[in-house]
Amino acid sequence: MDQADKKKIDRADFLKGKLEDVVYTDPMKLFSNWYQEAIEKNCADPHAVVFTTASLEGKPSSRIVYMRELLEEGVIIYTNYTSRKGTEIIENPNVALLFYWDCCERQIRLEGQVKKIDPLISDDYFAARPRISQIGAWASEQSSVIPNRASLEERVAFYEKKFPNEVPRPPHWGGLIVEPTYFEFWQGRLGRLHDRICFEKEENDWATYRIAP
């Protein structure tokens, strides 16, 4: 058996579902349904999402973050506003997100615009974080160049002493909400003939269509 034949035999296929008929007119409801299924099937990190921003010049950058809340209005994450993603969304609020749930052979792509959430909501979320994460939000100047690990640990020690009891939320840290204007629901299918159903915002409604795999 040559290597090419072996690769054909070893190649995994997608057999866990299909998306032939969509009964949802609201993609956020379908999103919520898929997300809940990912949780129930014990998918690894179902709230992990690839978050892609772009500079004013259109240069993209991606990283994995955690979705912390799913609302009717959109997806909420938390971050340092002075990080690379934080500064890029000020220049260009258009972002893209990608969820992938291997256990369901599904992914969801969404695009939209991002903005800061109400500071009071950020306060409540920050107050519920573990203390070490609260201190880390002060100590880490996210995305900036640092000389070594020791310099970061020194900053951690400094803020541990500065805030011996309650740790306030840093003004440069808080929540973002992505308000979607486009969704693509992808269901893996046999022979790479995947189902891809899209929703695109049109004023107050959603246009729905299928695209080729």
Q: Is residue 39 part of a domain?
A: yes
At residue 2, the pLDDT reads 56
Q: What is the CATH number of the domain that holds 72?
A: 2.30.110.10
User: DSSP of 62-129, one letter per residue?
Assistant: EEEEE--EE-SS-EEEEEETTSHHHHHHHH--EEEEEEEEGGGTEEEEEEEEEEE--HHHHHHHHHTS
Residue 81 in any domain: the answer is yes
Q: What pLDDT, on a 0 to 100 scale, did the predictor assign at position 190? A: 87
Digit-coded pLDDT (tens) for 9-20: 556 766 667 777
Is 165 inside a domain boundary? Answer: no
Report the pLDDT value the prediction gives residue 83, as an integer from 0 to 100.
95
Model pLDDT, residue 177: 97
Q: What string of pLDDT tens digits covers the 213 residues of the chain? A: 455 555 555 567 666 677 776 667 889 999 999 999 999 999 999 999 999 999 999 999 999 999 999 999 999 999 999 999 999 999 999 999 999 999 999 999 999 999 999 999 999 999 999 999 999 999 999 999 999 999 999 999 999 999 999 999 999 999 999 999 999 999 988 888 899 999 999 988 999 999 999
Does 23 fall in a domain?
A: yes
Return the number of other C-beta atoms located less than 10 Å from residue 137's C-beta.
Answer: 20
| Residue 34 covered by a domain | yes
Is 134 a member of any domain? no
Structural domain for 79, as ranges: 13-122+172-210
C-alpha 95: how far from its chain's center?
Answer: 10
Q: What is the pTM of this model?
A: 0.87
- Does the residue 127 lie in any domain? no
Residue tagged active-site, from 169, 192, 196, 210: 192
Catalytic site includes residue 192: yes
Report the domain count for the chain.
1
pLDDT of residue 7: 52
At residue 5, the pLDDT reads 53
Q: Tell me which residue has tokens 């969304």.
A: 89
